[in-house]
């Protein structure tokens, strides 16, 4: 029985999935808990999708369904905060705006561009683009401390011209080590995001070598999430990922209740 701690429903701008259908699928899969982490990305670049969030409506619906299904599954209340270094007032304010169980801090935007949009890669090599993304992510970690885990730290690789064909921990070791050390210093967790398998990368985000390096450096807070935006992707490849994490040196993964960590055996 696993807990999926990265889930989006129709309250997120990039999902059409009703929250109740997500919960019913979690029950069918035998999950013991699931945490919704709806997107909120202040100052997101103009595009086809808005990442504003009706927080009161989201909280109200989640509490209704949490009570309805309380005898079948534990439903937790979270957010995925879209970090940008200049949002020094906005991000902490959102983080303290409700009684959340869990907060993910994710870098979706670098230099006011989302790597999902190919403009981020124009005028620079793939190495330069990936490295710049990691620089911005590190700056976000230096700027903010108000979340529990850092989401999909190599998110940029999903959308690169060659995805992960030429990508490796060794190629970006200095900046990746700086990121991992900053997480450990701040006691912020590292997310193992299984959507990398869904995107055809053959690995989670981040890759096994980065996960193993985090553990080698002393990292212990490891959260597990599918980043599902539809019921069919909930707990995606979790059994496979649990074995992978054991090979990386982990015996436990981490869930949060009322922003406090709990360690569960893999």
Chunked in runs of 10, what are the mean pLDDT values of the chain (266 residues)? Answer: 95 96 98 98 83 95 98 98 97 97 98 93 96 98 98 96 95 98 98 95 96 98 98 97 97 98 96
- Tell me what pLDDT residue 50 has: 76
- Tell me what pLDDT residue 48 has: 65
Instruction: Answer yes or no: are the C-beta atoms of 101 and 144 closer than 8 Å.
Output: no
DSSP of 183-225: HHHHT-EEEEETHHHHTT-SS-BS-HHHHHHHHHTT---EEEE
- Tell me what pLDDT residue 47 has: 67
Report how far residue 232's alpha carbon sits from residue 225's, in angstroms, rounded to the nearest whole number.
14
Q: Residues 239, 102, 107, CA angle at the centre, nearest 5°? A: 85
Distance of CA 171 to CAs 27, 162, 164, 166, 223, Å?
A: 41, 15, 12, 9, 25
Beta-sheet pairing, 252-257 with 260-265 = antiparallel
Report how far residue 154's alpha carbon sits from residue 136's, in angstroms, rounded to the nearest whole number.
12
Instruction: Answer yes or no: are the C-beta atoms of 221 and 190 closer than 8 Å.
Output: yes
- Tell me what pLDDT residue 1 has: 78
Ramachandran region, residue 111 (left: φ > 0; alpha: ψ -120 to 50; beta: rest): left
């Amino acid at each position: 029985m696993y807990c999926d701690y990265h889930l989006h429903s129709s309250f997120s701008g990039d999902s059409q999935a009703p929250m109740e259908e997500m919960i019913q699928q979690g029950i069918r899969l035998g999950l013991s808990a699931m945490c919704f982490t709806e997107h909120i990305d202040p100052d997101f670049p103009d595009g086809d999708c808005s990442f504003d969030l009706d927080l009161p409506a989201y909280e109200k619906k989640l509490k209704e369904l949490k009570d309805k299904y309380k005898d079948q599954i534990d439903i937790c209340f979270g957010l995925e905060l879209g970090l940008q270094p200049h949002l020094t007032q906005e991000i902490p304010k959102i983080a303290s705006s409700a009684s959340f169980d869990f907060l993910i801090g994710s870098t979706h935007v670098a230099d006011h561009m989302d790597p999902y949009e190919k403009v981020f890669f124009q005028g620079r090599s793939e190495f330069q683009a990936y490295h710049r993304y990691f620089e911005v992510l590190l700056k976000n970690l230096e700027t903010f401390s108000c979340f529990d885990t850092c989401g999909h730290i190599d998110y940029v690789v999903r959308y690169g011209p060659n995805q992960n064909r030429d990508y490796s921990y060794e190629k970006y070791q200095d900046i990746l080590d700086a990121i991992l050390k900053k997480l450990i210093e701040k006691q912020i967790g590292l997310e193992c995001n299984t959507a990398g398998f869904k995107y055809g990368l053959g690995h989670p985000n981040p890759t096994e070598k980065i996960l193993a390096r985090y553990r080698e450096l002393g990292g212990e807070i490891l959260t597990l999430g599918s980043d599902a935006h539809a019921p069919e992707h909930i707990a995606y490849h979790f059994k496979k990922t649990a074995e992978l994490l054991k090979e990386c040196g982990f015996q436990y993964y981490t869930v949060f209740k009322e922003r406090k960590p709990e360690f569960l055996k893999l």
